Amino acid sequence: MRYAHGGLESPEYYVPGLPANYVAERYGIPLADIAKLGSAENPHGASPLAAEAVGQHLGALHLYPSWTADALREKIADTYGFDVSEVICGAGETEILSLITRAFCAPGDKIQMPGPCFPIYHLFAEAEGRIPVLVHSATNRHSMALDVDAYVEAVEPNTRIVYITNPHSPSGTWLEEAEVRRIIDASADALVVLDEAYVHYSETSGYIHLVHEYENLAVLRTFSKAFGLAGLRVGFGVASQPIIDTLMAVKPTWNMGQLQIVGGVAALDDQEHVARTVRTIVKNRDYVQGRFEELDRFRMVLGSRSNFFLVEILDLDTNSTKVFEGLLERGVIVKDGSVSFRGLDDRFLRCDVNLQLHMDRLVDALSDLP
């Protein structure tokens, strides 16, 4: 890794979905008419129980929180069947990803990830002088599913961390448990990190239970999606105690504030909100698939088990950036694959599943493009 003037020479940044108010102001579109489909946010907002708990604890802002977020760790442990010593909490799942990079991969060693993937994987690796290895699959372009054979074969002796994202981002595709086990078994000398940020939308309980079987496995989850707490920044990981002890040693001392802790605790009791959110996503995922059958210049990549999906651009006279900008002019925010995901070329967009109204706005806007 080369540095200039004490910092990274050519820093690369994460590209988030554009905010709705920016698009409304830029294009003169009423805010209520914007379909924000680029950030995978909860269409029903925050967990009501979490919002209530946060409001009730504003009087504690002058007090330091538990440096280990004990109350939230205990709640997570009780909810998912772990010991408190097997749980770590972070300011979003992304903070835990940074801790894992620093703690389990030495500079110059390799971190393996699917190509394309959540950009934070490789951005953190490069910022810390680690080598990201994106394993691309040329055989599954139609479905964008991970080629497990190729992924297993790519693991090398100096691979220190192996990422599995399930459901995968940006495709939303799903790996069965046997496939996840194959990757873990092939990565005996590495820490396998199973990122289950979007697992609720798979309508399964995920594979968090595998932590009880594998000492080299960490499973990460977030409160940003199904619980609707993206603005609060709460995430957690579960793993064997030696892994958690290592992460605790490198994390910032007070990385979780009072409101994050109480909000997360309350959200775990709000299964009604989660269930409502999942019902909406699953219903409208099917709905938008039907609407895409009306289009001949764009294809919805099938098989998503998440709250987003890929759109392939079949019209060779345009590309993802032109379509992205054309959608913005029509009040629809998505993600330009060529900008947001390394290895995803200019033939793809990533679009959220949201309320039916916004799904209609997406398809209607695509139909309206010249």
DSSP assignments along 13-72, one per residue: ---PPPPHHHHHHHHT--GGG-EE-SS---TT-S-HHHHHHHHHTGGGTTSPPPTT-HHH
Task: Give me the amino acid identity at 147.
Answer: D
The tens digit of pLDDT for each residue in 12-42 reads 777 778 999 999 999 999 999 999 999 999 9
Number of CB atoms found within 10 A of residue 188's CB: 11
Q: Judge residue 326's burial from the number of C-beta atoms within 10 Å of its C-beta, 0-12 exposed, 13-18 middle, 19 or more buried.
A: middle
Percent of the chain with pLDDT over 90: 91
Q: What is the pLDDT of residue 188?
A: 95
Predicted TM-score (pTM) of the model is 0.95
For residues 140-152, one letter each, b for 16 or more C-beta atoms within 10 angstroms of the residue's C-beta and e for the rest, the string is: eeeebbbbbeebb
Domain boundaries, the chain: 3-46+272-368, 63-267
100-104, 143-147, 208-212: the lowest-pLDDT one: 143-147
Measuring CA to CA, which residue among 315, 294, 299 is closest to residue 351? 299
Q: Considering the domain delimited by 63-267, tell me its CATH architecture.
A: 3-Layer(aba) Sandwich (3.40)
Confidence at 141, pLDDT banded by 50, 70, 90: low
Identify the residue whose tokens are 């995901």.
341
As a whole number of angstroms, the distance between CA 87 and CA 215 comes to: 14
Strand blocks (E) in 64-144: 87-90, 110-115, 131-136
- Report pLDDT for 137: 75
- Note the pLDDT of residue 347: 95
Nearest to 282 by CA among 167, 368, 141: 167
- Specify the fold of 3-46+272-368: Aspartate Aminotransferase, domain 1 (3.90.1150)
Packing angle between helix 258-267 and helix 70-80, nearest 10 degrees? Answer: 20
Sign of torsion, CA 25 29 33 35?
A: negative
d(CA 262, CA 75): 10
- What confidence score (pLDDT) does residue 9 get? 65
What the block records as the tokens of 15 is 């590209």
Two structure tokens written together for 247: 């992460």
Confidence band of 54 (pLDDT split at 50, 70, 90)? very high
pLDDT digits (tens, 9 = 90+) for 186-203: 999 999 999 999 999 999
Report yes or no: 65 and 255 within 8 Å, Cβ to Cβ: no
CA pair distance 174, 257, nearest whole angstrom: 34
Quick one: pLDDT band at residue 1, thresholds 50, 70, 90?
very low
What tokens does 180 get? Answer: 């996840």
Tell me if 301 sits within 8 A of 353, measured CB to CB. Answer: no
Residue 228 pLDDT > 60: yes
